[in-house]
Amino acid sequence: MDNSEDSFKRLTIEWTRAQPAVGRFVRSFVRNRADADDVLQEVALIIVDSFDKYDSERPFIGWALGVARNVVKAHFRKQLRRPVTVEDETAVDRVAEAFEKLQPELEDMKEALAECMQRVPSEDRQILALQYEDDLKSAAIAERIGKTPNHVAVLMHRLRVGLRQCVERKMNPVTNAS
C-alpha cells in the first residue's frame, strides 16, 4: 500500500469519527438545514484538500473544528454582509473549544449507550426505534403496538430513565460502585 493510499484511509477514518461533532458544531450556528449542509460540505472539501497539512501529533477533531470555525465565520460574513465582530468570533471560538473538549466524553457516552441498549428487551428496543429513528409520536406508536398512548408514554419514560442510569453507571463506575 502506498503512502497516498494510507493517507486517504487515515483521512477517511478521522473524518468519519469527527464528522458528527463537526456537523453539530456547524448546526449550532447555522440554523437553516440546507445552509448547514452546504457549510459542512465545504468543511469536508477543505479538510480533504488540506489533509497533507494536518499535524498528526495533534487531535484531528481540534483541527477539523478549526476548519469549521473558519468556514462558519466566512458564512456569517457572507450572510450578514458585514464583518464578523470580535464578539461573534469569540462565541464561535468558545463553542468550538467546548465541542473539542466534550468530544471524547460524547464518544464514551455513545459506547456506553450502545452497551446499555443491548440489555433492553427487543420489543422495547423496537419501541425506542419507532420514536427515535422513525420519529413517531406516542399515539402513532401506540396504534402500531396495540397499546394506549399513555402506556407508551409511561414505557418511554421508564426506558429513558433506565438507559440514563445505565449510562451514568458505565461512565462513573467508581462513583457508582459504593
92 pLDDT higher than 90: no
Candidates 48, 47, 80, 49; CA nearest to 66 is 47
Q: Are residues 20 and 77 in the same domain?
A: yes
Q: Are residues 96 and 23 in the same domain?
A: yes
Average confidence score pLDDT of the chain: 83
Q: Are residues 4 and 64 in the same domain?
A: yes
pLDDT digits (tens, 9 = 90+) for 95-110: 666 666 666 666 777 7
Q: Are residues 98 and 44 in the same domain?
A: yes
Burial class (CB in 10 A: 0-12, 13-18, 19+), 81: exposed
The predicted structure's pLDDT at residue 2 = 53
Domain contains 112? no
156 pLDDT higher than 80: yes
Domain, as residue range, for 20: 1-105
Domain contains 49? yes
Find the CATH number of the domain harbouring 6.
Answer: 1.10.1740
Q: How many domains does the chain have?
A: 2
Q: Are residues 91 and 171 in the same domain?
A: no
Q: Are residues 97 and 124 in the same domain?
A: no
Answer whether 92's CB lies under 8 Å from 7's CB. Answer: no
Alpha helices (H) in 30-59, listed in sequence order = 33-50
Q: Are residues 32 and 98 in the same domain?
A: yes
149 pLDDT higher than 50: yes
111 pLDDT higher than 60: yes
Return the minimum-mean-pLDDT range out of 85-89, 90-94, 135-139.
85-89
Domain contains 113? no
Which letter does DSSP use for residue 60 in this model? H
End of a domain among 70, 105, 140? 105
What is d(CA 41, CA 45) in angstroms, rounded to the nearest whole number? 6
Q: Are residues 1 and 33 in the same domain?
A: yes
pLDDT digits (tens, 9 = 90+) for 33-84: 899 999 999 999 999 999 989 988 888 988 998 999 889 988 877 776 655 5
Q: Are residues 95 and 21 in the same domain?
A: yes
The predicted structure's pLDDT at residue 103 = 65
pLDDT band of residue 150 (cuts 50, 70, 90) is very high
- Residue 81 one-letter amino acid: R
What is d(CA 53, CA 93) in angstroms, rounded to the nearest whole number? 21
Cell matching residue 166: 445505565
The predicted structure's pLDDT at residue 25 = 87
